[in-house]
């Protein structure tokens, strides 16, 4: 496991940050490498990994955390909060956008390195909205919603999840009840689809 390095004189530990970039364009990696060459005292770039799929990003984040690194994910667009949620659930401490300013990029990486939860300003409000909605439901309920919102009939959802039809109907009932308690209507397929879109489920 990679350990934090102590700065000279017995000062605070220098935190190594792994930046996982969910954008496999070479120019993006090069730009981030240059931007992160000079980080504030107390933080250093441990590694920079470029991936093309969110599942790969999740795997890299978990690996970095297991090795004692602080993980930050860089996304290529503000309209992908679901990917940010997946990264945070995997253990990331920061979310930044590839198009963020140099100052914001360095700030998010440095704050994450200090142990804070840091999110790019353009993403923060949208991410909080998505996380607030997702907290209403269990993981299993979200799985049902994800499939049902695509237009699949309940029988097909049951087959996909390897559960009985009545189980799916129970989950759908719970989804409607919890949504109603939060002031949301789920009376039609369109409303299920809209809720799935708002939570960036895929």
How do beta strands 94-97 and 118-119 pair?
Answer: parallel
Looking at 130, 149, 166, the residue that finishes a domain is 130
Both 104 and 14 in one domain: the answer is: yes
Question: Structurally, how many domains does the chain consist of?
Answer: 2
Using CA atoms, how far apart are residues 130 and 19, in angstroms rounded to an integer?
23
pLDDT of residue 77: 75
Using CA atoms, how far apart are residues 38 and 26, in angstroms rounded to an integer?
20
Both 50 and 91 in one domain: the answer is: yes
User: What's the CATH number where 168 sits?
Assistant: 1.10.10.10
Q: Name the nearest CA neighbour of 140 among 184, 170, 185, 96.
A: 170
Looking at 79, 101, 130, the residue that finishes a domain is 130
| pLDDT average, residue stretch 63-71 | 94
* Cα 134 from chain centroid (whole Å): 12
Both 115 and 191 in one domain: the answer is: no
pLDDT of residue 9: 47
| pLDDT average, residue stretch 24-32 | 84
Per the prediction, the chain carries an average pLDDT of 88
12 Rama sector, left if φ>0, alpha if ψ -120 to 50, beta otherwise: beta
Both 147 and 113 in one domain: the answer is: no
Tell me: the pLDDT tens digits for 108-147?
999 999 889 999 998 898 899 899 999 999 999 999 999 9
Both 97 and 182 in one domain: the answer is: no
User: What's the CATH number where 33 sits?
Assistant: 3.40.50.2300
Both 147 and 125 in one domain: the answer is: no
Cβ pair 89, 97 in contact under 8 A: no
* Cβ neighbours of 3 (radius 10 Å): 9
Both 101 and 22 in one domain: the answer is: yes
- Assigned token pair, 128: 């909080």
Using CA atoms, how far apart are residues 170 and 163, in angstroms rounded to an integer?
11
Both 124 and 143 in one domain: the answer is: no
Tell me: the pLDDT tens digits for 101-110?
989 999 999 9
* Cβ neighbours of 156 (radius 10 Å): 15
pLDDT of residue 118: 94
Both 43 and 120 in one domain: the answer is: yes
Domain that holds residue 193: 136-198
Both 93 and 150 in one domain: the answer is: no
* Torsion, CA 41, CA 46, CA 52, CA 53, rounded to 10: -100
- Assigned token pair, 71: 């993980």
Both 18 and 96 in one domain: the answer is: yes
Looking at 130, 148, 170, the residue that finishes a domain is 130
Both 46 and 103 in one domain: the answer is: yes
């Amino acid at each position: 496991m990679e350990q934090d390095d102590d700065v000279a004189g017995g000062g605070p530990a220098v935190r190594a940050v792994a930046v996982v970039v969910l954008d496999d364009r070479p120019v993006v990696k090069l730009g981030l490498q240059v931007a992160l060459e000079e980080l504030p005292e107390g933080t250093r770039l441990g590694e920079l990994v470029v991936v093309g799929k969110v599942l790969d990003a999740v795997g890299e984040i978990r690996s970095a955390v297991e090795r004692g690194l602080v993980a930050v994910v860089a996304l290529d667009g503000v309209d992908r909060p679901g990917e940010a949620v997946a990264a945070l659930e995997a253990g990331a401490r920061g979310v930044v956008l590839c198009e963020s300013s140099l100052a914001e990029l360095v700030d998010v990486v440095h704050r994450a390195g200090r142990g804070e939860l840091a999110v790019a300003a353009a993403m923060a409000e949208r991410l909080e909205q998505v996380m607030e909605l997702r907290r209403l439901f269990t993981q299993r309920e979200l799985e049902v919603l994800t499939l049902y919102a695509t237009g699949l009939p309940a029988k097909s959802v049951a087959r996909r999840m390897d559960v009985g039809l009545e189980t799916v109907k129970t989950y759908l009932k719970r989804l409607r009840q919890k949504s109603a308690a939060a002031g949301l209507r789920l009376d039609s397929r369109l409303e299920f689809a809209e809720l799935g879109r708002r939570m960036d489920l895929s």
